Chain A
Amino acid sequence: MGVCIEFQDVSYAYPLTKKAAVRHLNCRLETGKCYGVIGPNAGGKTTFCNLMRGLCPNFYGGILKGTVLIHGKNLLEWEDEELSVQIGYVFQDPFAQVSGIKETVFEEIGMGLENLGVEAEEMIARIVEIAKMVHVDTLLQKNPLALSGGQCQRVAFASILALDSDIIVIDEPTSQLDPEAGSDVFEIIDMLKKQGKTVIIAEHKVDLLAEYCDEIIAIAGGSIVAKGPVKEVLSDPVLPENGVRIPQAVSLARELWQAGKPFREIPVTMQEAIGLIKERREGRADGN
């Protein structure tokens, strides 16, 4: 698979700060994979996302060292409009994302398409399709500023999906949603994956990431502390050592290990844990 985003020794400091927000980041993201970005708050997750979308340094200013390549081309050489189509970015705070200048959810979702000059008929069809997908079709006539946190997050999501970007970066998509709605978001992410999109999600709900992601990038204290396939990274003791949350299945495995009765392998999802417990209980029933 091709590489779509590459960080080469990237360090970045926001303006008026002495300390770099991220230091010496090196990683390659491959087209079509789903990446979970985890780690403590203020550890660099959002900055990592901002760098991919060029918001650091184009919007925030600050000092960038090293090179970020998007589809092989240096971030600093991209036109912002072009990059905004290549990379869809769903912000952490949905109220920061809605434009505040559109009077209905319908127009809000369509704003990006309107700016790109998409034909009216195609635009309407696309807005309706996306609205159904993220369950905001009953809200289309509402004012975006009158939405609840959860509704606003879905609308923010929809307005990005409408652009049909190949790379989608999502910063804490489920923080304002109830668990059922949170699972809906992950189902949408799964669908995007099936469409061949590259998805990057910064998120605290590591139990959900364990189920849906291909790879995990753990960032703490401004550095990447672990990266690689989900199972490998989430069971790595370097995570808890750096204050990074681990899945409950891994915590359970650690409890059993400390009690001197470890599983034969470390589960990262609930289903894996269930399988291993069943295996052990059945083994016991057979007299082993």
Chain B
Amino acid sequence: MAIEVKNITFSYPGSLATAVENVSMTIEKGERVAIIGQNGAGKSTTVKLMNNIYKPSKGTILVDGIDTKERTTAQIAPHVGYVFQNPNDQIFNDDVVKEIEYVLRYRKLPEEEIRKRREEAIDVTGIRPYVEMHPFDIPLPIRKFLTIAVVVAVSPDYVILDEPTAGQDLWGCAQLKTVMDYLQQKGKAVLTISHDMEYVAENFDRVIVMAHKNVIADGEKRDILYRMDTLREAHVKPPLSAQIAQAVGIRDKILNLKELSAAIL
């Protein structure tokens, strides 16, 4: 079981320039993968194609063997869930409960199942204090957790989080950790797009680097985050702890502050 992206090329409607060119990658079920790279490298486009919001101009995407070209977005959505970078692009109901239940009702799940999934999603994402509010009155960083709750309730096998740590404070980052642990426990694949290298190093096993509309590296995080030429080409800096470790001549591939302090002591 996997999402298999095979040699896809895509241009946005009305645009002559391609947004991705000949991109290939495979995301296995249960994997935790981060895509990193500069704005405009093709990261968001690639995951939107996986989610079948757009269809590739060339190449194919198979979700558990099913060609996305032969399915509608609504047919792929139960398998691949996408949490938008900007929650305002995703929310369309005037009520938190309605927003979470929307897809579940569309899929005509039993009432008891809807209730169970809704409550679990609200708890995991920590939005219980906000359920009575209008979604657009909820502070933006917390609104992001509402959109995560929607995807958690749908419970797809592949969850895509686009820039989940942007604008989050310590509460938000801790809550996100809770969500990540929950998804892993459920055996979900989590794919993220992130500029936050501390978050990537902490929560993901595999890192894919994109630059100039294509994949330039793909592998185990400790290997990838120490390929300085590749990172430079992608205009990405490694985690601060790695930068410090290199600057002071520590040879181990340090990825977080705990490892750094252990190496210094």
Q: Chain A residues in contact with chain B, CB under 8 A?
A: 39-43, 92-93, 95, 148-150, 172, 175-181, 204, 207, 243-245, 248, 251-252, 255-256, 259, 261, 270, 273-274, 277-278, 280-281
Contact = CB atoms under 8 A, between A and B. Distances in A.
A248 B241 contact: yes
Nearest to A92: B140
A175 B265 contact: no
B129 to A, nearest CB: 11
Interface in B186-215: 195, 198
A92 B167 CA distance: 10
B171 interface: yes
A180 B38 contact: yes
Contacts of B38: 178, 180
Interface residues of B, number: 35
A40 B172 CA distance: 9
Given A259-B265, A270-B240, A204 B168 contact: yes
Interface stretch (B99-107, B147-155, B243-251): B243-251
B169 A178 contact: no
Given A41-B139, A93-B140, A256-B265, A248 B257 contact: yes
A23 to B, nearest CB: 19
Given A149-B86, A150-B39, A175 B167 contact: yes
Nearest to B173: A245
B142 interface: yes
B264 A277 contact: yes
Most A CB within 10 A of own CB, among B40, B172, B247 = B247
A178 B165 CA distance: 12
A180 B235 contact: yes
The 3 closest A-B pairs by CB, nearest first: A255-B261, A175-B167, A40-B169
A41 B265 contact: no
B166 interface: yes
Contact of B39 (A42, A181, A243, A273): A181
B264 A248 contact: no
A284 to B, nearest CB: 10
A245 B170 CA distance: 6
Contacts of B198: 248
B237 interface: yes
Given A92-B140, A280-B264, 14 more contacts: A41-B171, A41-B172, A42-B139, A92-B167, A176-B166, A178-B235, A245-B169, A248-B257, A252-B244, A252-B260, A255-B261, A270-B243, A274-B248, A281-B248
Contact of B244 (A42, A178, A270, A281): A270
A259 B261 contact: yes
